[in-house]
Amino acid sequence: MNQKSPNKIIEDLGDGLIMRSAAREDADALAEFCSQVFMHEESGTEAWWIAEWIRDLTSKPHPTLNIDDVIIVEDVEKGRYASTTTYLSQTWTYDGIEFQVGHPEIVGTHRDYRNRGLVRKQFDLMHRWASERGHDVQVVLGIPSYYRQFGYEYALPAETNLHAPITSFPRWGNEKRNFRLRETTIDDVPFITRVLNASNDRSMVSPVFREDEVKYLTFDRHERSAVCHKTAILCKSDGDNFGDPIGVLMYAMTIAIDLGVMLRVEMTEPRYWREAVPALLKEFVELAEKATKDANDPDREIKTVRQDMQPDHPIYLFDEDALGNPPDRQYAWYVRVPDIPRFLSKITPVLERRIANSIHAAFTGSLKIQLERKGVILKFEKGKIVEIENTPSMHWEEANARFPANTFLPVLFGMRSIDEALDAHPDAKAAPKSDRHLLETMFPKRSSDLSLTLT
């Protein structure tokens, strides 16, 4: 490996190991390292898709990642990398209120160095950065049961990962092509940004899209990166010509595994879900056929289409069942909120809006919520939250509501209703009925689409 000598040491971990920030010169060696660490164990295939992803992140500027926030643990005695993580800094929205997010990604330790606490060290560092930088929330889309030990809990829905055979899609016949997909150009970036941000209304939580981020998502990733996708613009059409743009499709054709992917579909106006979804699906079939033809390999053909959209996405009202049925279960994002009272203060306008539209609009009083052993007391005057008090301890009998460990997080982020949290955890509580209803009002269950989180 052609490694750069360490120049930005963060901590000496002993045993010849140092933790340091990466430099641009690390890009190729880090790509090689990740291709080994994330190797597909069963087939022995090196993870070239992660290699290209980390090379993108480290070799050139990225809208939400500073090169100093790519962490490397290096064995300086042996001259090799031991472990790595990147920490992306993003802005997301909670029902219209922006908040700052820290997002660890590409977390990996070489087999020779596992179970020695190297990832724990990197998470300690990232959590320090989070508090120094005022990041309200950290999120990880990661392997099962690993991140709870670092203070995370599953609290936001991941992609549905629903699969359908492409043979169930409708196909163009002789009818006029009233909507057509065209390729994206750089001039489309403001349009795509606008459409994505407008679609955030459908989500409790979502990333805020900025034009430089959308440009990066659309044009700046290596085509073999694990997170690379294409974007097409759905336009009105008279059959041959492209008219006004009315929607966007984010998709990928992974011909090596015969898989098409629909990551995201959005329309400029709700009417187009009914009018344009059938045409969109027919156009997708043609994209898949083109990918198959371009592969020029008799063994390869796009056969299945994975979808990342949430089950309540409007496309599922107008697909005539072409896309299949929603899955029974769905994976989730791990979320950490180091200071819940501070986060509640930030989203107070949203909570007050929910209260104002409810039976509790004139409520004056307080609500005591026990989170593990600590407590939060919300004080209300005529439906307004006038104080959020953080108490270092609260007795369980004193609380109106009780959420053990981090079980409040899925409620806070709309993934689980109060009822579901109470059913799942016998030691949780929300009583009396009036307070339980107030909690349900403030924290309704609602879906979130995080499918285009910028990494």
Ligand X SMILES: CC(C)(COP(=O)(O)OP(=O)(O)OC[C@H]1O[C@@H](n2cnc3c(N)ncnc32)[C@H](O)[C@@H]1OP(=O)(O)O)[C@@H](O)C(=O)NCCC(=O)NCCS
Q: Which is nearer to ligand X, 131 or 149 (CB)?
A: 149
Cβ neighbours, 10 Å, residue 447: 17
Residue 325 identity (one-letter amino acid): N
What is the smallest separation between the CB atom of 226 and ligand X, expressed in angstroms?
Answer: 12
Read off the tokens for 94. 């909670």
What is the smallest separation between the CB atom of 331 and ligand X, expressed in angstroms?
Answer: 12
Q: Which stretch binds ligand X (CB under 6 A): 7-15, 144-152, 293-301, 443-451?
A: 144-152
How far is residue 225 from each of residues 48, 52, 209, 221, 254, measured CA to CA in Å? 8, 5, 21, 7, 11
What is the smallest separation between the CB atom of 117 and ligand X, expressed in angstroms?
Answer: 4
What is the smallest separation between the CB atom of 327 and ligand X, expressed in angstroms?
Answer: 21
Site for ligand X in 382-421 (CB under 6 A): none
Q: Does 146 bind ligand X (CB under 6 A)?
A: yes
SS (H, E, C) the chain: CCCCCCCCEEEEEECCEEEEECCHHHHHHHHHHHHHHCCECCCCECCHHHHHHHHHHHHCCECCECHHHEEEEEECCCCEEEEEEEEEEEEEEECCEEEEEEEEEEEEECHHHCCCCHHHHHHHHHHHHHHHHCCCEEEECCCCCCHHHHCCEEEEECCCCEEEEHHHCCCCCCCCCCEEEEECCHHHHHHHHHHHHHHHHHCCEEECCCHHHHHHHHHCCCCCCCCCCEEEEEEEECCCCEEEEEEEEEEEEEHHHCEEEEEEEEECCCHHHHHHHHHHHHHHHHHHHHHHHHHCCCCCCCCEEEECCCCCCHHHHCCCCCCCCCCCCCCEEEEECCCHHHHHHHCHHHHHHHHHCCCCCCCCEEEEEEECCEEEEEEEECCEEEEEEEECCCCCCCCCEEECCCCCHHHHCCCCCHHHHHHHCCCCEECCHHHHHHHHHHCCCCCCCCCCCCC
What is the smallest separation between the CB atom of 13 and ligand X, expressed in angstroms?
Answer: 11
What is the smallest separation between the CB atom of 103 and ligand X, expressed in angstroms?
Answer: 12
Q: Which is nearer to ligand X, 120 or 176 (CB)?
A: 120
Q: Does 47 bind ligand X (CB under 6 A)?
A: no
Q: Which is nearer to ligand X, 83 or 453 (CB)?
A: 83
How far is C-alpha 446 from the chain's CA centre? 16
Q: Which is nearer to ligand X, 37 or 288 (CB)?
A: 37
Q: Does 343 bind ligand X (CB under 6 A)?
A: no
Q: Which is nearer to ligand X, 117 or 324 (CB)?
A: 117
Q: From 362, 326, 268, select the one nearest 447 (Cα to Cα).
A: 326
Site string for ligand X, 314-333 (x = CB under 6 A): --------------------
Q: Which is nearer to ligand X, 145 or 174 (CB)?
A: 145
What is the smallest separation between the CB atom of 104 and ligand X, expressed in angstroms?
Answer: 9
Count of residues interacting with ligand X (CB under 6 A):
18
What is the smallest separation between the CB atom of 455 and ligand X, expressed in angstroms?
Answer: 12
Q: Which is nearer to ligand X, 118 or 277 (CB)?
A: 118
Site string for ligand X, 58-97 (x = CB under 6 A): -------------------------x--------------
Q: Which is nearer to ligand X, 139 or 411 (CB)?
A: 139
Q: Which is nearer to ligand X, 71 or 276 (CB)?
A: 71
Q: Which is nearer to ligand X, 147 or 251 (CB)?
A: 147
What is the smallest separation between the CB atom of 108 and ligand X, expressed in angstroms?
Answer: 4
Q: Does 4 bind ligand X (CB under 6 A)?
A: no
Q: Which is nearer to ligand X, 41 or 132 (CB)?
A: 41
Site for ligand X in 103-142 (CB under 6 A): 107-109, 114-120, 142
Site for ligand X in 209-228 (CB under 6 A): none
What is the smallest separation between the CB atom of 111 and ligand X, expressed in angstroms?
Answer: 8
Q: Does 38 bind ligand X (CB under 6 A)?
A: yes
What is the smallest separation between the CB atom of 184 and ligand X, expressed in angstroms?
Answer: 30
The CA distance from 381 to 356, in Å, is 12
Contact residues: ligand X, CB under 6 A = 37-38, 83, 107-109, 114-120, 142-143, 145-146, 149
